[in-house]
């Protein structure tokens, strides 16, 4: 499931392409992604038509588009949801980071690596999404497979054509859209990245601030971690404690902090807990700088471009491979029904107490 860096990459694209545009028509090809909409597909179309998008905002993995009537279009990408924009002027694509730059000196693949692999007919079939240059959605079919909802928006000066579209494409049907009221934040600070307004969706009031939010109360987060007997990985992924962290960045942050995910929060010292938050934030910032982590064509931004961080992952998805720090073979286990990959040497597994 997309985590904070991937959702932020989408949000930034939506802000760039959609702010100031009016929704002129709503097409609902499949009503299932609107299952949370009061009144169903008809109410969704009627209430959204004519509204103007004023911003694109994100808190953790949650994203919403504030509208000129004081409400918002809330979006959840689920496992395979994509919000794709067509018909606007394309952003300038950055060069793919070279090995040793954004990928680090830990064996990250460069564009040259990808081109050599693709030219080799006998090379093993592996996913190279994370090393390919962006493939803009403007080159794709106007009626993509798994298209569920389409919004037709007003054009602005500089648009290359006479139609601007926002498509919800979702293969597994776990994402969705719905209109929601905006309510004041409890602390009076901005609701999330992308807007200074102290507002957030009414159904997101229980969502904590994320590690890249300058208004996050880190002392309160540390106190909650250290007052719990739950596994520290479980706490880190609790969206009511700190939002935006899923399985990928939890594993990466724990590895960077040299902390095993099974260790109870109450047994983590204050400096180690602070280091965990700092390292997890750092890895998400590095991932965001290259568009997030894309494992396949389902994980793309609003322009249809993948992120490049997959080749920089230290532990996630690398069970059985050498630790990039000490060389020990990484191990995979299950914590609270979620996989956890760690280094047996760098991340000492705690001895669990018998009940």
The CATH architecture assigned to 4-92+136-201 reads Alpha-Beta Barrel (3.20)
5 is catalytic: no
The whole-number pLDDT of residue 328 equals 97
Decide: pTM greater than 0.85: no
Catalytic residue among 21, 61, 132, 148: 61
3 is catalytic: yes
pLDDT tens digits for 188-232?
999 999 999 999 999 999 999 999 999 999 999 999 999 999 999
- The full set of domain ranges for the chain reads 4-92+136-201, 218-342
The whole-number pLDDT of residue 91 equals 61
Catalytic residue among 22, 25, 258, 338: 338
The whole-number pLDDT of residue 196 equals 97
pLDDT tens digits for 325-352?
999 999 999 999 999 999 999 999 998 6
Catalytic residue among 2, 5, 97, 190: 2
The whole-number pLDDT of residue 174 equals 82
Match domain 218-342 to its CATH number in 1.10.3720.10, 3.60.150.10, 1.10.8.50, 3.90.1150.10: 1.10.8.50
Low-confidence ranges of the chain (pLDDT < 50): 93-140
61 is catalytic: yes
Catalytic residue among 3, 6, 193, 252: 3
The whole-number pLDDT of residue 315 equals 96
The 3-state secondary structure of the chain reads: CCCHHHHHHHHHHHHHHHCCCEEEEEEECCCHHHCCCCCHHHHHHHHHCCCEECCCEEECCEEEEEECCCEEEEEECCCCEEEEEECCCCCCCCCCCCCCCCCCCCCCCCHHHHHHHHHCCCCCCCCCHHHCCCCCHHHCCCCCCCEEEEEEECCCCCCCCCCEEEEEEECCCCCEEEEEEEEECCCCCCCEECECCCEEEHHHCCCCCECCCCCCCHHHHHHHHHCCCCEHHHHHCCCCCCECCCHHHHHHHHHHCCCCCCCEHHHCCHHHHHHHHHHHHHHHHHHHHCCCCCCCCCCECCCCCECCHHHHCCCCCCCCCECCCCCCECEEEEECCEEEEECCCCCCCCCCCCC
């Amino acid at each position: 499931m997309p985590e904070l860096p991937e959702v932020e990459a989408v949000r930034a694209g939506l802000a760039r392409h959609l702010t100031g545009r009016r929704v002129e028509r709503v097409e609902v090809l499949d009503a299932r992604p609107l299952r949370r909409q009061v009144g169903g597909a008809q109410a969704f179309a009627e209430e959204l038509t004519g509204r103007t998008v004023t911003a694109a905002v994100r808190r953790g993995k949650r994203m919403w588009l504030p509208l000129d009537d004081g409400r918002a279009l809330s979006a959840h990408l689920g496992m395979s949801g994509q919000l794709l924009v067509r018909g606007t002027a394309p952003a300038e694509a950055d060069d793919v980071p070279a090995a040793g730059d954004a990928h680090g000196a830990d064996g990250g693949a460069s564009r040259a690596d990808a081109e050599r692999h693709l030219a080799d007919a006998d090379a093993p079939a592996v996913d190279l999404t994370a090393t390919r240059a962006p493939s803009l959605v403007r080159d794709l079919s106007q009626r993509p497979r798994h298209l569920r909802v389409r919004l037709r928006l007003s054009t602005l000066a500089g648009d290359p054509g006479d139609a601007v579209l926002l498509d919800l494409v979702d293969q597994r049907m776990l994402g969705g859209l719905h209109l929601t009221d905006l309510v004041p934040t409890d602390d009076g600070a901005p609701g999330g990245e992308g807007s200074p307004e102290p507002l957030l969706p009414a159904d997101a009031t229980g969502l904590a601030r994320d590690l890249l939010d300058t208004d996050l109360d880190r002392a309160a987060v540390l106190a909650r971690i250290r007052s719990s007997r739950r596994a520290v990985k479980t706490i880190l992924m609790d969206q009511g404690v700190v939002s935006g962290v899923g399985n990928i960045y939890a594993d990466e942050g724990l590895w960077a902090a040299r902390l095993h995910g099974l260790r109870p929060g109450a047994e983590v010292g204050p400096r180690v807990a602070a280091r965990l938050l700092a390292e997890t934030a750092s890895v998400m910032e590095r991932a965001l700088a290259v568009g997030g982590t894309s494992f396949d064509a389902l994980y793309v931004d609003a322009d249809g471009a993948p992120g490049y961080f997959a080749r920089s992952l230290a532990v996630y998805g690398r069970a059985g491979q050498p630790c990039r720090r000490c060389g020990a073979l990484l191990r995979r286990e299950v914590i609270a029904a979620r996989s956890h990959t760690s280094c047996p040497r760098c991340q000492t597994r705690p001895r669990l107490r018998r009940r």
